[in-house]
Structure 1
Amino acid sequence: MAEKEFKLEQDCELRFEVETKKETVDLKLISGKAEMFGTELAPDKPYTFYPGAKVAVYTWHGCTLKLTGNTEGTYIAKETPMVMYLNTHACLERLRKHADEGLSRGEKTRGPVTMVVGPGAVGKSTLCRILLNYGVRMGRRPIFVDLDVGQGAISIPGTIGALLVERAASVGEGFSQEAPLVYTFGHLTPASNPTLYNILVSRMASTIQEKMARNRKVAASGVVINTCGWVKDEGYKSLTHVAQAFEVDVIIVLDQERLYNELVRDIPFIKVVFLPKSGGVVEGTQAMRAAARDDRIREYYYGLHTKYHPHSFEVKMSHFQIYKIGAPALPDSCMPADMKVDDHMTKLVPVEPGVKLKHHILAVSLANEPEDLLTANVAGFICVLDVDEETKMVKVLSPQPKPLPKKLYILTDIQFMDSS
């Protein structure tokens, strides 16, 4: 097993990737202080990274690190944007302090609602993680909102989610996923149904505003919002809708000056900040993104490094009331006089259980009536493993044992071939 020590000077970063084989890599902080995406490393504690991991360990004052195992693209970067990211955190912390003081005087105020935008693969999720970790280290309890349906950092791809961040992300597994709020969108890009996406964003925003109104500490801590890499035309309109729905105070634009200038021009009443992306950001291919999505769903059922034991069992077809949100659009000439295109995007279409459901993910909705399906959050997800039309039974993969908790389900476009 290869072992190598790296001595980092102040304001430097060690970057490496774990080769996509069966091997793991251990990292240990030998001396000094270091952090990974805002989470402090404990001295002399081995941190294990698994195949596919892309790691950047930063030090403010200098440190010595030891790597055990085979890594790819390992180098020390002397140029990093971390000082700018820290300055951004300091500005947000000043706004939180101001909100805290206002709330203690009985004023109706709140901490900063910050939105991170930019094209794909510029490090938006990483910057959100850094800002949230720094906030938690100051004793704050910010809310993390993930609107990137292609990635699904809080739940699975095809969803938007929010969670209260009460402690720093663990180095290997990220933020604790206790009691997240999740809405199912059912597609991998907002472009598939912009109307539904905007409805869910508005619903999420009003739920979070209610939460902040009820809890002073959360209100003062504010919100950090991660967005999709879809930034042109309809995507740009979608970003302005997010800013409006969440009443955003600060927009951080990563790496794209054109987007920065458009937002400064169109939303002059919101503070827009331009930040460079880190040199360590690696742009993945479409195949890599698809594999990452599969890994995300597999992790939902089987766990990442802690092994879960999901359940597979058969359920009668009659148990399911399945709906798809959005019907094929009709040409204007065929539409009833009082119907708009948007109505098609939000129409509930009943789906009969059958072979075509195989490998599809179904969202278990917390709605009690079909008309609430559009804006109800979800309890979780099941995957259809098999459908037997003769016996009228559906075999499903579920994170919990039977019986299934609800009868209303939303059919998503997301598919998962369970090879575990």
Structure 2
Amino acid sequence: MSVDKKVLQEFTLERDNELRFEVESKTEKVYLTLKSGTAEVFGTELVKAKTYEFTAGAKVAVFTWHGCVVEVKGKTDVIYTAKETPMVLYSNCHAALEVMRVEADRENKRGPIAMLVGPCDVGKSTVCRILLNYAVRMGRRPIYVDLDVGQGHISIPGTIGALMVERPAVIDEGFSQEAPLVYSFGQKSPQNNQTLFSILVQQLAITVKERLEVNKKTRASGVIINTCGWIKNAGYKQLISNAKAFEVDAIFVLDQERLYNELVRDMPNFVKIIFMAKSGGVVERSKSLRVEARDQRIREYFYGTPKNSLYPHSFDVKFSDVKIYKVGAPALPDSCLPLGMKADDHLTKLVPITPNAGILHHIMAVSFAENEDDIITSHVAGFVCVTNLDTERQMITLLSPQPKPLPNNILVMSDLQFMDTH
């Protein structure tokens, strides 16, 4: 359906209906306004008469419990009203978690720890967002844990992290990113180094449990965990391992009955396994769209969003002022291994790197580690990108969200690269 750019469309939604639209064109902006009634986008309430702006890549679902009228201005690629949505089911899951929180509050215990699992592109991070928003709207302070290194919702791709959620996500920006706890994995998929991934998940779980202990409100509110779409064979084992590390009480399985049945078979009885249908509005992304989304996340880390621009700094550091490491060395055949060394030890080996052309455009994690022994399990202060290398002057040029000096001189190289085109 071709729409004139300046066209205004008005939609009257019946109760429990959802208006879904997508913006694909890089040059388009689409504006949404709630005219009357009540509505929400992924669990965040729309403010009446306020205009929300959406740019390229936005996939939006406006849901109403009681009916509403909304206005959409601008050119959308897809726009339609859905009468069938899983929102009632998601709301019931929230209600079940809320019952557990009330009890936790009363008995000063730990609230529910819920994990979302399922294949790629079934809407796991969206359901996390809905459940977190509903919890916050009830006055809770849950912790959001993201184990999806492919997309990186809390920081950049190649990381896992946790964030205390104190207010609903901003409709066009997501959750406020104040003081997230981030560990750098440095790869796009856990499959690339499962040993390292498991170590980081265990470490994150320990730290999250510590955070739950110190804050009564957060302790009762519990944790919502997002996972990646790798669910077969070793990926399945990793899910079980994640569940044990965080001591989950509930696992919500999106859109895959086989996975649901396997978890019912393999998880202890006290863990509730709940099957959930995916929303009809979920869109499968091609490989190229995933790559583009990753690049966009990294670009936003340095430059912000169209609505909220950031101005990163570029500065030089001497080769001698930083120590650069990579985690993981090439595998040695068993016959060459030193006595007592296991075959997968190379996966967590720290390799010092002398600055060379190979590090150009790579993302580097600025580690909080105080010495070499802590590098692998330390969380990170943030990220920089190597934009230039001058071997004559022995200088590296870094793109950084903050001015110099760096918070620490230990940098850990990620496999992810970013071409700074600004």
Residue aligning to 1:363: 365
Q: Which residue of 1 aligns with 2:332?
A: 330
Q: 1:337: Cα distance to partner?
A: 3.0
CA distance in 2, matches of 1:292, 1:192: 20
Q: Offset at 1:355?
A: 0.9
CA shift, 1:23, in A, is 2.0
Give ranges in structure 2 of 5+ residues lacking alignment: 1-5
Shift, 1:331, TM fit: 1.7
C-alpha distance in 1 between matches for 2:407 and 2:207: 23
When normalised by structure 2's length, the TM-score is 0.97
Contact kept? 1:19, 1:70, Cα under 8 Å: no
1:396 positional shift:
0.9
Give the partner amino acid of 1:205: A
- Tell me if 1:14 matches 2:15: no
How far residue 408 of structure 1 moved from its aligned partner, in angstroms, is 0.5
Secondary structure of 1:322 counterpart: strand
Give the whole-Å Cα distance in 2 for the aligned partners of 1:244 and 1:141: 23
* Residue 354 of structure 1 pairs with residue 356 of structure 2: yes
- After TM superposition, the structure 1 = structure 2 runs for residues 200-211 of structure 1, keeping only pairs within 5 Å, are 200-211=200-211
Q: Moved runs in structure 1, 4+ residues, more than 3 A?
A: none
Q: CA–CA distance in 2 between the matches of 1:91 and 1:25?
A: 36
Following superposition, the deviation at residue 2 of structure 1 comes to 1.2
1:21, distance to aligned residue in structure 2 (A): 2.6
Which residue identity is paired with 2:267?
Answer: I
> Partners in 1 of 2:243 and 2:214 — Cα distance?
22
Amino acid corresponding to residue 363 of structure 1 in structure 2: A
Give SS of 1:98's match.
Answer: helix
Match of 2:407 in 1: 405
Residues of 2 paired with 1:299 and 1:318: CA distance? 30
Q: Residues 369-380 of structure 1: matches in 2 within 5 Å?
A: 369-380=371-382
* Aligned counterparts of 1:385 and 1:126: Cα–Cα separation in 2: 34
Specify which of 46, 55, 62 is matched with residue 60 of structure 2: 55
Give the aligned partner of residue 290 of structure 2: 289
Give the whole-Å Cα distance in 2 for the aligned partners of 1:335 and 1:354: 28
Which residue does the alignment assign to 2:111? 111
The answer to whether structure 1 residue 272 and structure 2 residue 277 are counterparts is: no
Match of 2:397 in 1: 395
| Identity rate, percent | 61
Q: Distance in 2 between matches of 1:139 and 1:341?
A: 49
Shift of 1:341: 2.0
SS class of match (1:307): coil
Structure 2 matches for 1:24-63, cutoff 5 A? 24-63=29-68
Deviation at 1:325, TM superposition (A): 0.7
SS of 2:378 mapped into structure 1: coil
**Mapped pair 1:317 → 2:346:** no
Deviations 1:156-196 (A, max 9, x none): 00000100000000101010000000000000000011011
SS of the residue corresponding to residue 406 of structure 2 reads coil
Distance of 1:407 and 1:315 partners within structure 2: 10
Q: Which amino acid aligns with 1:308?
A: L
Tell me if 1:85 matches 2:90.
yes
Mapped partners of 2:80, 2:389: distance in 1:
50
Match of 2:304 in 1: 303
Q: Give the match for residue 106 of structure 1.
A: none
SS in 1 for 2:50: coil
Flag structure 1 segments of 5+ consecutive residues without an equivalent: 104-108
Letter in 2 for 1:193: N
Following superposition, the deviation at residue 335 of structure 1 comes to: 1.5
TM norm structure 1:
0.98
The Cα of 1:268 is off from its aligned counterpart by: 3.2
Q: Which amino acid aligns with 2:212?
A: M
Q: CA RMSD in A?
A: 0.7
Point out the more displaced range, 222-231 or 394-403: 394-403
- SS of 2:204 mapped into structure 1: helix
Matched residue type, 2:414: T
Provide the residue aligned with 2:187 in structure 1: 187
Cα deviation, 1:200-245, whole Å, max 9, x if unaligned, reads 0000001111111111110000000000100011111110110000
Give the C-alpha shift of residue 274 in structure 1: 0.3
| CA distance, structure 2, for counterparts of residue 363 and residue 268 of structure 1 | 37
CA separation in 2, counterparts of 1:206 and 1:19? Answer: 40
Q: What are the equivalent positions in structure 2 for 1:119-158 lying under 5 Å apart? A: 119-158=119-158
Corresponding residue number in structure 2 for 1:70: 75
Which residue pairs with 2:235 in the alignment?
A: 235
Q: SS of 2:57's equivalent?
A: coil
In 2, the alpha carbon distance for the partners of 1:67 and 1:90 equals: 31
Shift of residue 19, structure 1, vs aligned partner? 2.9
- Post-superposition shift, 1:48? 0.6
Q: Distance in 1 between matches of 2:162 and 2:122?
A: 21
Query: Which residue of 2 is the match for residue 166 of structure 1?
Result: 166
What's the secondary structure of 1:119's corresponding residue?
coil
CA distance in 1, matches of 2:211, 2:316: 38
1:240-259 equivalences under 5 Å are 240-259=240-259
Q: After TM superposition, give the deviation of residue 313 of structure 1 in Å.
A: 1.3
Residue in 1 aligned with 2:383? Answer: 381
Following superposition, the deviation at residue 141 of structure 1 comes to 0.3
